[in-house]
Amino acid sequence: MEEGNGNNNYRDEIYSKSVRAGKRTYFFDVKSTRGGDYYLTITESKKRFQQDGSFHFEKHKLFLYKEDFEKFSDGLDEVVAKIQELNNSSDDSSSISQNNDSENDVSNENMSEDGNFKDVDFDDL
């Protein structure tokens, strides 16, 4: 294969998904090797500003190969579940303190089934 002819099909992206998350964007790109195996690249991109006001994108890239998909997925699932568990336990303790604060109490009679407020007459307040 000739170098520089633009015919690098083995590196073509098969599928790409971008996820914007605050100041970061994550790119999940499925690519194929010369041997026809698929791998995943995960790229984190952050916009960084210079003191003169100009900016550049700082990128960090991970390559994940098929033999690691299951272990990576299992590890990610485990840590995400742990974070959710920790958040739920801290939410429970903060909701207890909020329930004790009478300023935060809202009567359920003014709430619809979907959790939004029903029409409230300000004279009722």
d(CA 38, CA 64): 9
d(CA 110, CA 100): 20
- Report how many domains make up the chain: 1
Has residue 124 been placed in a domain?
no
Order of strands, edge to edge, in the sheet holding 55-65?
13-21, 24-32, 38-49, 55-65
CATH number, residue 45: 3.10.450.700
pLDDT of 58 reads: 93
What is the pTM assigned to this prediction?
0.58
φ and ψ of 51, to 5 deg: -65, -25
d(CA 49, CA 9): 35
pLDDT in tens, 45-58: 998 888 898 999 99
pLDDT in tens, 10-33: 467 799 999 999 889 999 999 998
Has residue 41 been placed in a domain?
yes
Range(s) of the domain holding residue 34: 9-100
pLDDT in tens, 53-112: 899 999 999 999 999 999 999 999 999 999 999 999 887 766 555 555 544 444 444 444
Has residue 122 been placed in a domain?
no
The 8-class DSSP code of residue 104 comes to G
